[in-house]
């Protein structure tokens, strides 16, 4: 065979009666020889792709073990195991010299293309084990049984020839549901139908072939092209490409898959229960089968022409393209089957749930309607495979039951203490017989119900518990009390004490603003711009803070009421307020201080105005007046000093929200600058100012009232703008001088010792004296270094009153205590 082996074609016999020297037509594959797919089955029997197409196209009629090719699974829930037996006995061949080159038929007869030159004899056998699986079987049990069967088969085909074919009780139980179909080249007395029978037959197969070689059949044949022997012989010009072969196999496989899935759907409860659904699936299965037969017939007519080069290979490609454009293409079939499988699962689920509630599938509804014991009949009817028919007592015809629409969730309109007013939207659905409002504490399981009248738009729930979260929803009640519910809204009743505390905060802020407004309406507040600005700032800061606080309260109350926040969010806000500079205590103390300051300032102003002083805001104009030599100004020195609380408030408002906390180290002082000592000093300054005004008769001295910050003189001071001086000075009165001491009385003369003044405010020291009964005082100057003063020309035996006087700026005089001296003879 070596001389011709290079041109040989090796092919499967497939049970056909091959003999050496017979002719073979490769164009039509005449005289032609574990997974269940079209691709894997031929592999089991060593069939190449070209020959497999001929089998699919019906060109080859198979027999013996090759009939296994036609055994296709009918269901995806079917478990299948295949045991293949393969044995060879002898090989026969023709040598080159034996080839009949002279006796080749005339080419016009077109008998064949090849001659049989070799045959391998033996036998094939296929045992196909199937187990049907129902939908309600336990998948674990089925898997276990399949594994037991598989392990037994693996033991049978192992290299150990002494494999034990006997089965114990557990194995027998596991394989009892398997059926066997035998396909073989052996003629058996009876074909095995059970797993146990198949094991016995499998063990006897080698003995059968050995005892009777006549049982051997051709397994594989070798073909030699006739055109190599004679030019007149027909030629096999070309074969079909592997890609087209695989595509064709894939098309047939997809159609087989569709038929199997239809078979599975037909066995399921939805198709068995509903004839319309069954008919739909059955029609698809039949259409797929008819289409596949037509496609196979076309394939059978194309293959010989393509092999014989009568047609181009593209004609097969055109057939495949035509299939892809048809409704039977794999994509459309898969999509349709997926949708039916989904429908089947949904229907099956609904049926199971209805069955759990006691409903049952009925075909003869008339019999039930005639039952006198039946008042109403509710039928869950699959129309497009979904309608519920209601047969009401007293009604002649059934109506399609329509459930009420899902109602709109209730809306909170107002919360008052332990009551809440809810807005309900009337249902537009005619199926709603009665709307209701349901509510309960979240932790409870039982719902309370409030009816909603036809024209009622609001429902008020009363006596709700504080600090309790409630669930509230609307319910639409339809026929037979079928009820649909709205979404659940959550509502919490906030503790009244907490709400009052929050209201108290805004009330106190409003009170502070109101007090500021009262102070601003007082005309005396406008006297000094610094004091006015502080009041305006306080009012503005409180307004900003109150608005911000109110917005936060409203937002938080909404969130807490609707259970988006816990109540602690409100208590935290309240605590943050108390820790802020806007706390109630600090604001009240500030207002009290300002009222006291304004009252005191007004008291002093009134007395100053009564003496003729005037408030002047343009000091420069007064100082520029050529007629004015000296300006004496009663100055309020603490009205313009920085206010610590206002600074705190401003900083608080400017700070980011997260850092708005009160710093204990910078807590504003609660004490006013207007202490008792400062008030007394202001009073003394007022007395001095009045004395200066009464002592000055010159029009060149101007007396005014002003405000200027002066830390060294809290409260007030008297500022003196003297003519010829560049800077103003704080007027200081001279100290009270020491009382003069009588050193000697000589007749009409008296020698007095005077103590020089240590006060820098004293410009001049004078000694004043007069007759006791007189009112006018005479004056004697005391020089700077003078320690004694002698009074002469006094009257004899007369009492005199004598005292020292310290004269300061603007001739302001401070007198000492008076002594009495009696002159001699």
Distance separating alpha carbons of residues 646 and 541, to the nearest angstrom:
8
Residue 139 — pLDDT band, cuts 50, 70, 90?
A: low
At 234, list the tokens: 């027909």
- Over residues 508-526, mean pLDDT: 87
Residue 83 — pLDDT band, cuts 50, 70, 90?
A: confident
Q: Which of 687, 688, 675 is nearest to 715 (CA)?
A: 675
Please write down the HEC assignment for all residues of 303-362. Answer: HHHHHCCCCCCHHHHHHHHHHHCCCCCHHHHHHHHHHHHHHHHHHHHHHHHHHHCCCCCC
Domains of the chain: 5-236 (no CATH), 365-401 (no CATH), 411-493 (2.60.40.10), 502-729 (no CATH), 741-822 (2.60.40.10)
List the single range of 88-97, 362-371, 442-451, 502-511 with lowest mean pLDDT. Answer: 362-371
Q: Which of 191, 240, 284 is nearest to 56 (CA)?
A: 240
Distance separating alpha carbons of residues 672 and 774, to the nearest angstrom:
49
Place of tokens 């007189």: 774
- Per the CB < 8 A criterion, the answer to whether 410 and 459 are in contact is yes
Chain centre distance of CA 186: 71
Place of tokens 């602690």: 568
Residue 665 — pLDDT band, cuts 50, 70, 90?
A: very low
Place of tokens 């809440």: 420
Place of tokens 């820790």: 579
Give per-residue pLDDT as tens, 430-488.
888 889 999 999 999 999 999 988 888 899 888 888 888 899 999 999 888 888 999 99
Torsion of CA 532, 534, 537, 538, to 10 degrees: -110
Q: Which of 647, 535, 644, 549 is nearest to 591 (CA)?
A: 535
* Predicted pLDDT at 539: 92
Q: Across all residues in the chain, what is the average pLDDT? A: 78
* Predicted pLDDT at 507: 92
Q: Measuring CA to CA, how many Å separate 608 from each of 605, 614, 721?
A: 5, 8, 18
Distance separating alpha carbons of residues 641 and 819, to the nearest angstrom:
46
Distance separating alpha carbons of residues 433 and 404, to the nearest angstrom:
8
Give per-residue pLDDT as tens, 110-120.
556 777 878 88
Place of tokens 């409100």: 570
List the single range of 229-243, 295-309, 404-418, 745-759 with lowest mean pLDDT. Answer: 229-243
Q: Measuring CA to CA, how many Å separate 490 from each of 439, 469, 483, 554?
A: 10, 7, 20, 17
- Per the CB < 8 A criterion, the answer to whether 29 and 13 are in contact is no
Q: Residue 768 — φ and ψ, nearest 5°?
A: -110, 140
Complete DSSP assignment for 511-546 = HHHHHHHHHHHSGGGGGSHHHHHHHHHHHHHHHHHH
Q: Measuring CA to CA, how many Å separate 603 from each of 225, 458, 607, 719?
A: 140, 61, 7, 20
3-class secondary structure, 273 = helix
3-class secondary structure, 566 = coil
- Per the CB < 8 A criterion, the answer to whether 810 and 701 are in contact is yes
Q: Which of 330, 265, 261, 264 is nearest to 291 (CA)?
A: 330
Task: Give the gyration radius of the chain's Cα atoms.
Answer: 62
Complete DSSP assignment for 131-182 = E---TTS-HHHHHHHHHHHHHHHHHHTSS-TT------HHHHHHHTT-EEEE
3-class secondary structure, 725 = coil
- Per the CB < 8 A criterion, the answer to whether 179 and 129 are in contact is yes
Q: Measuring CA to CA, how many Å separate 74 from each of 37, 80, 457?
A: 12, 11, 63
For CA atoms 112, 115, 118, 122, the dihedral sign is positive
List the single range of 103-107, 370-374, 420-424 with lowest mean pLDDT. Answer: 103-107
Give per-residue pLDDT as tens, 571-613.
888 898 988 889 989 999 888 888 888 888 888 888 888 887 7
* Predicted pLDDT at 380: 63
Q: Which of 89, 116, 97 is nearest to 30 (CA)?
A: 116
Q: Residue 254 — φ and ψ, nearest 5°?
A: -65, -35
pLDDT > 90? residue 540: yes
pLDDT > 60? residue 21: no
List the single range of 285-294, 375-384, 406-415 with lowest mean pLDDT. Answer: 375-384
Q: Which of 244, 239, 245 is nearest to 308 (CA)?
A: 239
- Per the CB < 8 A criterion, the answer to whether 644 and 727 are in contact is no
* Predicted pLDDT at 372: 59
pLDDT > 50? residue 182: yes
């Amino acid at each position: 065979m070596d001389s011709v082996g290079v041109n040989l074609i090796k092919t499967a016999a497939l049970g056909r009666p091959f003999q050496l020297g017979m002719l073979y037509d490769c164009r039509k594959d005449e005289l032609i020889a574990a997974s269940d797919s079209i691709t894997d089955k031929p592999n089991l029997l060593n069939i190449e792709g070209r020959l497999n197409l001929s089998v699919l196209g019906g060109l080859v009629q198979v027999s013996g073990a090759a009939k296994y090719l036609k055994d296709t699974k009918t269901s995806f829930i079917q478990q299948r195991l295949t045991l293949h037996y393969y044995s060879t006995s002898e090989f026969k061949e023709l040598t080159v010299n034996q080839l009949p080159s002279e006796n080749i038929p005339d080419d016009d007869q077109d008998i064949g293309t090849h001659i049989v030159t070799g045959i391998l004899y033996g036998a094939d056998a296929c045992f196909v084990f199937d187990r049907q699986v129902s939908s309600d079987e336990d998948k674990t049990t089925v898997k276990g049984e399949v594994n037991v069967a598989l392990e037994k088969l693996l033991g049978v085909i192992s290299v150990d020839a002494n494999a034990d074919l006997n089965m114990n009780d557990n194995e027998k139980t596991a394989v009892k549901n398997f059926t066997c179909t035998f396909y073989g080249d052996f003629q058996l007395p009876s074909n095995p139908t059970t797993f146990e029978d198949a094991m016995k037959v499998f063990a006897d197969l080698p003995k059968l072939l050995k005892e009777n070689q006549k049982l051997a059949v051709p397994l594989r044949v070798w073909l030699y092209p006739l055109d190599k022997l004679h030019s007149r012989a027909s030629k096999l010009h070309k074969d079909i490409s592997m890609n087209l072969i695989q595509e064709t196999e894939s098309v047939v496989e997809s159609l087989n898959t569709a038929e199997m899935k239809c078979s599975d759907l037909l066995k399921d409860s939805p198709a068995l229960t509903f004839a319309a659904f069954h008919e739909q699936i059955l029609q698809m299965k039949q259409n797929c089968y008819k289409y596949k037969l037509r496609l196979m017939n076309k394939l059978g007519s194309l293959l010989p022409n393509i092999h014989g080069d009568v047609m181009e290979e593209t004609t097969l490609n055109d057939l495949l393209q035509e299939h892809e454009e048809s409704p039977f293409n794999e994509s459309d079939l898969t999509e349709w089957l997926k949708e039916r499988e989904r429908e089947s699962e949904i229907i099956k689920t609904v049926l199971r749930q209805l069955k759990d509630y006691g409903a049952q599938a009925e075909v003869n509804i008339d019999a039930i309607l005639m039952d006198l014991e039946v008042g109403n009949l509710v039928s869950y009817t699959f129309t497009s495979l979904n309608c519920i028919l209601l047969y009401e007592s007293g009604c002649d015809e059934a109506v399609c039951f329509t459930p009420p629409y899902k109602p709109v969730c209730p809306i909170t309109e107002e919360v008052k203490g332990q009551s809440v007013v809810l807005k309900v939207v009337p249902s537009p659905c005619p199926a709603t017989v009665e709307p209701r409002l349901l509510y309960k504490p979240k932790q409870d399981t039982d719902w309370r119900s409030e009816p909603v009248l036809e024209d009622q738009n609001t429902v008020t729930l009363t006596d709700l518990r504080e600090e309790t979260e409630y669930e509230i929803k609307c319910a639409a009640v339809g026929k037979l009390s079928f009820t649909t519910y709205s979404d659940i809204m959550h509502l919490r009743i906030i503790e009244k004490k907490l709400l009052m505390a929050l209201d108290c905060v805004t009330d106190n802020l409003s009170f502070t603003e109101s007090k500021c407004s009262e102070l601003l309406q007082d005309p005396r507040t406008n006297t000094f711009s610094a004091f006015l600005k502080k009041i305006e700032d306080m009012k503005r800061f409180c307004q900003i803070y109150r608005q911000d606080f109110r917005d936060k309260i409203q937002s938080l109350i909404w969130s807490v009421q609707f259970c988006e926040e816990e109540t602690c969010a409100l208590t935290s806000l309240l605590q943050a307020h108390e820790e802020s500079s806007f706390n109630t205590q600090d604001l009240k103390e500030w207002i009290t201080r300002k009222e006291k300051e304004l009252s005191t300032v007004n008291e002093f102003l009134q007395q100053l105005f009564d003496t003729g002083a005037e408030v002047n805001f343009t000091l420069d104009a007064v100082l520029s007046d050529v007629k004015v030599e000296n300006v004496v100004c009663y100055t309020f020195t603490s009205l313009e000093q920085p206010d610590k609380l206002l600074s705190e408030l401003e900083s608080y408002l400017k700070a980011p929200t997260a850092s708005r906390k009160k710093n204990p180290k910078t807590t504003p002082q609660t004490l006013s600058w207007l202490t008792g000592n400062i008030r007394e000093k202001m009073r003394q300054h007022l007395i001095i100012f009045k004395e200066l005004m009464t002592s000055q008769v010159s029009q060149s001295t101007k007396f005014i009232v002003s405000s200027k910050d002066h830390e060294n003189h809290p409260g007030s001071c008297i500022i003196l703008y003297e003519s010829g001086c560049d800077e103003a000075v704080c007027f200081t009165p001279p100290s009270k001088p020491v009382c003069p001491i009588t050193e000697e009385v000589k007749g009409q003369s008296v020698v007095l010792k005077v103590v020089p003044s240590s006060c820098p405010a004293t410009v001049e020291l004078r000694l004043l004296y007069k007759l006791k009964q007189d009112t006018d005082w005479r004056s004697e100057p005391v020089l700077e270094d003078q320690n004694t003063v002698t009074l002469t020309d006094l009257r004899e035996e007369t009492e005199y009153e004598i005292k020292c006087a310290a004269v300061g700026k603007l001739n302001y005089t401070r007198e000492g205590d008076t002594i009495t001296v009696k002159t001699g003879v």
